[in-house]
Amino acid sequence: MTDYGAFMEALVFYLFAILGVLAALGVVIARSPVRSALSLALVFLALAAMYVLLNAPFLAVAQIMIYAGAVLILFLFVIMVLNPRLDLIGGRTAAQTVAAVIFAAAFGVLMSVTFAAGQLAPATGVFTPEYVSEAGHVQVIGALLFSEFLLPFEIASLLLLIAIVGAMVLARRERVRHGDPRQDLR
């Protein structure tokens, strides 16, 4: 039973890990922004699967709802509104592209090596998987958000408000400044 469970876990992990990496590469490579956006949706789905594997089912649901739902829809919406040119890929110079690839790869390798070489500290936390599944994932996160992390939570809400107002101000068509009041009536 344990062997089977572990095998299934590893299978699901590698499946979605490969899916996620390929989809991420698709985001970078795709010529069409719509394809990039759809690849991004696949990455989000893969990550949601990871969250399930990591005993965070609520986060998985939130990931799908917020990223795949809200953020991605916003991207697609803007793409459709603007209908931008499709071939904007590559750097101003080839050197930029080459350097970017080299250093991004170097970064990934360095980080991977670091993680692989590192030792994880002993698991001293109280939120064992058994405790969480017994108390309920949503309840645990909710309790933490409204007690220990209340201040960051409130600040995040303020940030959202500012972002909403800012987005409105930025995206609004400015006509008054140029002086012809009739334009406002159009």
In the list 1, 4, 134, 173, the residue contacting another protein (rule: CB under 8 A) is 173
Contact between 45 and another protein per CB under 8 A: no
* Residue 113 makes contact with another protein by CB under 8 A: yes
CA distance 183 to 175: 7
Contacts of 27 (CB under 8 A, 6+ apart): 36, 39, 40, 43
Min separation Cβ 37 and another protein, Å: 7
Comparison of 144 and 176: residue with beta carbon closer to another protein: 144
Question: 152: which 2 tokens?
Answer: 């960051």
Smallest distance from the beta carbon of 181 to another protein, in angstroms? 20
8 binds another protein (CB under 8 A): no
Binding to another protein by CB under 8 A, coded x per residue (else -) over 72-111, reads: --xx--xx-xx-xx--xxxxx---xx-xxx-xxxxxx-xx
Taking the complex as a whole, the smallest distance from the CB of residue 4 to another protein amounts, in Å, to: 13
> Contact at 8 Å (CB) between 103 and 96?
no
Q: Tally Cβ neighbours within 10 Å of residue 44.
A: 19
At 80, list the tokens.
């459709």
**Collapsing DSSP states into helix, strand and coil, what is residue 128?**
coil
163 HSE (CA, 13 A, CB side): 6
Interactions with another protein, residue window 122-161 (CB under 8 A): 123-129, 132, 140-141, 144-145, 148-149, 152-153, 156-157, 159-160
By CB under 8 A, is residue 64 in contact with another protein? no
State in angstroms the smallest separation of the CB of 127 from another protein.
5
According to CB under 8 A, which one of 15, 112, 180, 183 is a site residue for another protein?
112
Does the footprint of another protein cover residue 19 (CB under 8 A)?
no
Q: Is 59 in the site for another protein (CB under 8 A)?
A: yes
Task: Find the angle CA(51)-CA(68)-CA(16) to the nearest 5 degrees.
Answer: 40
CA-angle at 39, arms to 171 and 14, nearest 5°: 140
